[in-house]
Structure 1
């Protein structure tokens, strides 16, 4: 069978997700193509079986129309026609949406095409923007207007530059109208946390499944040595955090607070890009740049004693699974589905925003390694192995009857 993945950008965790899914699909004898818009990131970070659609000007036009009107998902007419032309040429049996609300698509045009050709759609939600009038996460501000209709958005948008006007009421209605009329639609969420919210949204009458994110756990369990990780051989307990981009939502200020309040026996290390203003304040952190070399990242994980994820907004972060697969226990806030990968033998989850509890958990865990052993962590990580992608293949065949 032929499968199309529709995604806005090759960034963050997605390239690794796509690579693992592609291997699983091809092992099953099926074909897969990734359709991404014509942007600088997607041209620089090309992946196998990638199909570029639209023009380089499209995103800029769509973005500025969003800035002026507060509306998304209705612009990009000509670029969406180009996407449809290329999808038609490939003739897929199923389309898997990922992040599509990102200033590049005319959703009504695409939905009409999909329904007219009876193409099943699997939609993987990586955040909540498909059920809201704008925002990607709402739990930090405690806003639940999306259940009946968004308006006066309190987040001022937490993933894109704010628009000049708040048109979330109309955008919510547009999304409800067009998303819910997709004739053969199955929703996939990586966490139970998100699935619960989707069941309360305008998607409640559609099938909603949970398929956790998965990684190659065996790869992270193999012992790695790397020159970069040798700087962590300082005799201190290493408290590690990893993110593609560190900001307040990811908890960089909390990591700095930990570095300030933990004793001299500890070293707090963060890996990833840090916003410039926040980096100047990171006086108690050892900041390492992001790396695309997987063996290097694994070596850094394996040098750590504890992994801390103080994220304030998240779905089902794969960094937690990577840490477990590397044999180190995880401490996280009870944010989104962040704690769903943990059990009592591999980590601790504390209430979101409770820094004191986070600090106490770090100290406790570092003195009770026997209860959170490397073996326990690796064994738990196997629940989130590449077998998760087999579930996607099974779903593709189920919805397409192939």
Structure 2
């Protein structure tokens, strides 16, 4: 069995998950590789680099003007599809498809024509909204029926004009045109997916794994240094610390 994973990053954020899955596949005797656009890749991971920084810059520019994230990078995507033709993976595993690097229309149409099984791991909500990656902060649930007049144009992916209605319809048509197994890392996200236009796809929850040799109960010196002995400690960590986080 050969599995190709597609993601924005190679070795950070969701890219680490893609690399860890590929390493496990190889350890189990299967064949795996990662197609990514930005950042580097872990050592000894078979990979394909999607496009270059100029492809990303152009995608960012056009997306800012038109609010059409995921509908540029045509040349980079055509080259990726040629690579897929050569590799002939048995399964294609999507991670983040946003991030200014791939044309989802070309990708989905190719997969439908070639009848390649797809797993789509959702790390956010972009796949079933007309624009945003997360709506919980502002309690916007238009995506359950039809996105329009998006209130989060200044949030990632930041744009100047609203195209959320057309994006929603395009994504709905594309992501429901092929059978997929949709994987969510939490029940919280699974419940939202079941209310979206992805509801008729197979949806399962597989929680993100952690290294228990690293993440385990400890009693570091910083507890004593900060006078926290015998106190309850709640530690929150995020890449960027915003009001939303």
In the superposition, the TM-score normalised over structure 2's length comes to 0.89
State the alpha-carbon separation in 1 of the partners of residues 67 and 47 from structure 2.
31
1:141 aligns with 2:132: no
Q: Name the counterpart of 1:17.
A: 17
1:4 maps to what in 2? 4
Q: Distance in 2 between matches of 1:3 and 1:175?
A: 24
Residue 69 in structure 1 maps to residue 60 in structure 2:
no
Where do residues 315-354 of structure 1 align in structure 2 (5 Å cutoff)?
Answer: none
Query: Is 2:4 the partner of 1:33?
Result: no
The 1-side partners of 2:79 and 2:22 are apart by 24
Q: Is the 8 A contact 1:59 1:104 kept in 2?
A: yes
Q: Match for residue 234 of structure 1?
A: 225
In 2, are the aligned partners of 1:134 and 1:157 still within 8 Å (CA)? no
Residue in structure 1 matching 2:203, options 190, 202, 208: 208
In 2 relative to 1, CA 116–167 (structure 1 residues): closer, same or farther, beyond 3 Å?
A: same
Q: What's the Cα RMSD here?
A: 2.0
SS of equivalent to 2:240: strand
| Correspondence 1:1-400 to 2 at 5 A | 1-10=1-10, 12-37=12-37, 39=38, 42=39, 45-47=40-42, 48-161=45-158, 163-182=159-178, 184-221=179-216, 230=221, 233-234=224-225, 236-237=227-228, 240-250=235-245
Q: Which moved more, 1:62-71 or 1:93-102?
A: 62-71
The answer on whether the counterparts of 1:4 and 1:32 sit within 8 Å (CA) in structure 2 is: yes
Report the 3-state secondary structure (helix = DSSP H, G, I; strand = E; otherwise coil) of the residue aligned with 2:147: coil
Structure 2 CA distance for aligned equivalents of residues 91 and 79 of structure 1: 18
- In the TM superposition, residue 50 of structure 1 has moved relative to its aligned partner by 2.4
TM superposition shift of 1:241 = 2.9
Return 5+ residue gaps in structure 1 as ranges: 251-402
Task: From the CA coordinates, give the structure whose radius of gyration is larger.
Answer: 1
Per the TM alignment, residue 138 of structure 1 is displaced from its structure 2 partner at its CA by 0.4
**What's the CA shift for 1:230?**
4.8
**Uncovered stretches (5+) of structure 2, i.e. residues with no partner:** none
**Do 1:188 and 1:208's aligned partners in 2 also have CA atoms closer than 8 Å?**
yes
Q: TM-score scaled to structure 1, two decimals?
A: 0.56
Alpha-carbon separation, structure 2, partners of 1:31 and 1:160:
34
* Cα distance, 1:205 vs structure 2: 1.2
Q: CA shift at 1:113, angstroms?
A: 1.2
Contact 1:5–1:96, Cα closer than 8 Å, also in 2: yes
Query: What SS is found at the alignment partner of 1:245?
Result: coil
Deviation at 1:232, TM superposition (A): 5.2
In structure 1, what is the Cα distance between the partners aligned to 2:52 and 2:20?
28
Residues in 2 aligned to 1:156 and 1:169: alpha-carbon distance in whole angstroms:
13
Deviation at 1:148?
Answer: 1.1
**Count of residue pairs the alignment pairs up:** 239
Quote how far apart the aligned CAs of 1:239 are. 5.0
* Superposed displacement of residue 94, structure 1: 0.2
4+ long deviations beyond 4 Å: 229-232
**SS of the residue aligned with 1:109?**
helix
- SS of 1:72 mapped into structure 2: coil
